[in-house]
Amino acid sequence: MLSRTPTSANLVGSRREFLSRTGGGMGAIAAAWLLQQDGMVAKAAATSTVANPNAVKPSHFAPRARRVIYLFMHGGPSHVDLFDPKPELDRLGGETLPESFGEVMTRRRVKANPLLPPLRKFRQRGASGLEVSEFLPHMAELADDLCVLRGCHGDSVNHPQSVYQMNSGSILMGKPSVGSWVSYGLGSENQDMPAFVVLPDPGGGVKGGPPAWGSGYLPASYQGTTMRSGKAPLLNLAPPAAVGTDDQLAMLALLEQENARHRQRRDNDDELGARMNTYELAYRMQTAAPKLVDIDQEPEYIRKQYGIGQAETDEFGTRCLLARRLIESGVRFVQLYAGNTVGWDAHENVEKNHTQMCRRTDQPVAALLRDLKQRGLWDDTLVIWGGEFGRMPMSEQGKGRDHNPWGYSIVLAGGAVRGGFSYGATDPVGLRAVEGKVHVRDFHATLLHILGMDHEALTYFHNGLDERLTGTIEANVVRDILA
């Protein structure tokens, strides 16, 4: 099995010692050498022993895409109201779930709740005839570019566990996120920026918290770096006003020298190495990040397309535009969260909730897809739209829907996948995936395949095991959706 990190049957000492010893032959690169790329710290270069975790690494085979924008619709959007038309659910609206569907177990016994018909009409769109709900008029205009996975399913009805699973492949907290795996496997095409950037919803945190984009047992260098719009994209990034460039460089050079000595005395401790790389990257980002988040550089018509300046779309539109600027600059994996701790979680009133969330996100998402095309980024960028699960066909509190991990939709777009295409299906009322079933691990295997990585070969040695994103259960690449 191919692996990014070699293994040994006679492993002695900790994993970190093992990785440090075996990784040394790959060519340790000075921490200050990274600064030297700016032409400023030549003297420090001779003393460093820290390899660059952000360096570009070869894929296992030719990739179909080089980068990813993951639009995470936090809270669980309703597939039966957005991308999965169900005429039978419309016909049975108001009735209870037929006995033929079997027992349904969730946090509540919802089987007795009446079925809630789709709240908006579905219409065939574009030349492909792909059906999209009237909730999403802007994305519907791009139906011929959308690839809808209608048979997705996961393993938990709860938000945190499902957020973790969609992001890390496991319902347990503490596993590496998919963005971290991509960062670890491929590195960044821009050495002044991290490979994995996260743009959280400013309205509040995600259920499950930052571990959703954490690096787990991978080195800390691969965790997602959170950014925001405005003149200060990262808090505490800029040095105090009284500290000049020369002073800062001198301090960094001295710090690197002392850290190198400290690390050598502790057998090249990986934790310290990761922190040293973080300091170096932060220094370079002081110049690169503010330029990237300055959307005033964009033409007015582009900002208008994203809905920037309009009350409902300004915030999410700004982050979608930032995502395009980030991947265009060489960032490998950008993840946007749409929805605070409530988000798409429509327990009480789907109509009210989804009207608000669709108005906020629909136009910016469509603008992003169009922008990728016009800037020549479409063919090698994968865009993902989806949440942690879908919603039940039965009603909750009369007008709402409960969580549904047994059948939901994920939408893909970009040159790597078939446009105007749907794959898989849920049952006649949208409760469970029944055809073309795509488990979360299949979804992750497919994502890695599109990026040129074999999910079985992308491994990391941890606690005596070659760990991987897709775990130990069989995972399959969904090849039928590939362009």
* CATH code assigned at 375: 3.40.720
Cα(331)–Cα(380) distance, rounded to whole angstroms? 13
Predicted local distance difference test score (pLDDT) of residue 94: 92
Predicted local distance difference test score (pLDDT) of residue 385: 98
Predicted local distance difference test score (pLDDT) of residue 205: 84
Q: HSE on the CB side for 291, CA within 13 Å? A: 9
Cα(272)–Cα(275) distance, rounded to whole angstroms? 5
Which is it for strands 130-133 and 122-125: parallel, antiparallel or unpaired?
A: antiparallel
In a domain, 246, yes or no: yes
Q: 65, 451 in Cβ contact below 8 A? A: yes
Predicted local distance difference test score (pLDDT) of residue 52: 78
End-to-end CA distance of the chain: 28
Predicted local distance difference test score (pLDDT) of residue 34: 41
- Whether residues 252 and 281 fall in one domain: yes
In a domain, 168, yes or no: no
Q: HSE on the CB side for 393, CA within 13 Å? A: 32
Look up residue 407 and give its two tokens.
């059948």
Predicted local distance difference test score (pLDDT) of residue 250: 78
- Whether residues 125 and 246 fall in one domain: no
Closest to 372 in 3D by CA, of 407, 335, 328: 328
Cα(178)–Cα(473) distance, rounded to whole angstroms? 17
In a domain, 267, yes or no: yes
- Whether residues 245 and 372 fall in one domain: no
Closest to 252 in 3D by CA, of 227, 228, 229, 281: 281
How confident is the model over 89-117, as pLDDT tens digits?
A: 999 999 988 776 655 544 444 557 899 99
- Whether residues 239 and 329 fall in one domain: no
In a domain, 98, yes or no: yes
**Amino acid at residue number 65:** A
Structurally, the chain folds into a number of domains equal to 2
Q: Which residues contact 244 (CB under 8 A, 6 or more apart)?
A: none
Q: Which residue has the tokens 């970190």?
A: 16
- Whether residues 411 and 347 fall in one domain: yes
- Whether residues 311 and 442 fall in one domain: yes
How confident is the model over 381-391, as pLDDT tens digits?
A: 999 999 999 99
How confident is the model over 275-286, as pLDDT tens digits?
A: 666 666 666 666
In a domain, 91, yes or no: yes
- Whether residues 342 and 273 fall in one domain: no
Q: Is 421 helix (H, G, I), strand (E, B) or coil?
A: strand
Domain hosting residue 47, numbered range? 15-51+233-285
Predicted local distance difference test score (pLDDT) of residue 144: 98
Predicted local distance difference test score (pLDDT) of residue 230: 60
- Whether residues 316 and 396 fall in one domain: yes
In a domain, 5, yes or no: no
Which residues on adjacent β-strands are paired with residue 426?
433
Q: Per-residue pLDDT for the chain (483 aa), expressed as one digit of tens each?
A: 345 544 433 333 444 444 443 333 333 333 333 434 444 333 333 333 346 788 899 999 999 999 999 999 999 999 999 999 999 999 999 998 877 665 554 444 455 789 999 999 999 999 999 999 999 999 999 999 999 999 999 999 999 999 999 999 999 999 999 999 999 999 999 888 899 999 999 988 899 999 999 999 999 889 999 987 665 666 555 666 666 667 767 777 787 777 777 777 766 566 666 666 666 666 666 666 677 788 888 999 999 999 999 999 999 999 999 999 999 999 999 999 999 999 999 999 999 999 999 999 999 999 999 999 999 999 999 999 999 999 999 999 899 999 999 999 999 999 999 999 999 999 999 999 999 999 999 999 999 999 999 999 999 999 999 999 999 999 999 999 999
- Whether residues 83 and 144 fall in one domain: yes
In a domain, 219, yes or no: no
Cα(263)–Cα(329) distance, rounded to whole angstroms? 33
Phi, psi of 292 (to 5 degrees): -70, -35
- Whether residues 20 and 82 fall in one domain: no
Q: Is 403 helix (H, G, I), strand (E, B) or coil?
A: strand
- Whether residues 195 and 334 fall in one domain: yes
Predicted local distance difference test score (pLDDT) of residue 33: 38
Q: Which residues contact 367 (CB under 8 A, 6 or more apart)?
A: 138, 305, 306, 307, 317, 320, 321
Predicted local distance difference test score (pLDDT) of residue 16: 44
In a domain, 428, yes or no: yes
- Whether residues 369 and 277 fall in one domain: no
C-alpha distance from residue 27 to each of 4, 20, 189, 418 (Å): 15, 11, 19, 41
